[in-house]
Amino acid sequence: MAIRYDDTHAALDLDQLASLFCAVGWAYRTADPGRFRQMVLGTPWIVSAWDDDHLVGFCRAITDGAFNAYVTTVAVLPAYQRRGIGRELMRRLLADRDHMLFVLHAEPDNHDFYKSLGFADADNMLRRPRSH
């Protein structure tokens, strides 16, 4: 398996991305196609992982481009998990951006993974949940 990585929006297939999101339990993010499309197009930094022409992984960060970035999505198809794809997606997303403060929210089961990439616990995080 030779996984190919891409960091352009041009490579993305929104139908495959929607399928990936559904496979990892995020179908709610694809329910409104216009909103889903805007989510992708409004994200400046993305990295996708491909097995031939099949999308197997995706990550993205929203950013001001100067100081702060928020990693908001990291997804790998279940059949491709535990093969280093998520780690490589994140490596590429963070590469050459050591001057940026990256933050993210993660399920407790995933904390060790993100800590291995240099993230640390932050007790001062506040959030306003969305209504839907």
pLDDT greater than 70 at residue 1: no
More confident: 107 or 28: 28
Task: Supply the pTM of this predicted model.
Answer: 0.89
Q: What CATH fold (topology level) applies to the domain 3-115?
A: Aminopeptidase (3.40.630)
What is the pLDDT confidence band of residue 73, given thresholds at 50, 70 and 90? Answer: very high
Taking residues 44-69, what's their average pLDDT? Answer: 95
Tokens of 35: 């909103």
Q: What is the pLDDT of residue 2?
A: 92
Catalytic residues: 114
Task: Note the pLDDT tens digit of each residue in 76-126.
Answer: 999 999 999 999 999 999 999 999 999 888 888 889 888 888 888 887 777
Q: Which residue has the tokens 């398996």?
A: 1
Rounded Cα distance between 127 and 121, Å, is 15
Contact, 20 vs 55, CB < 8 A?
Answer: yes
- Extents of the domains making up the chain: 3-115
Average pLDDT estimate for 3-14: 93
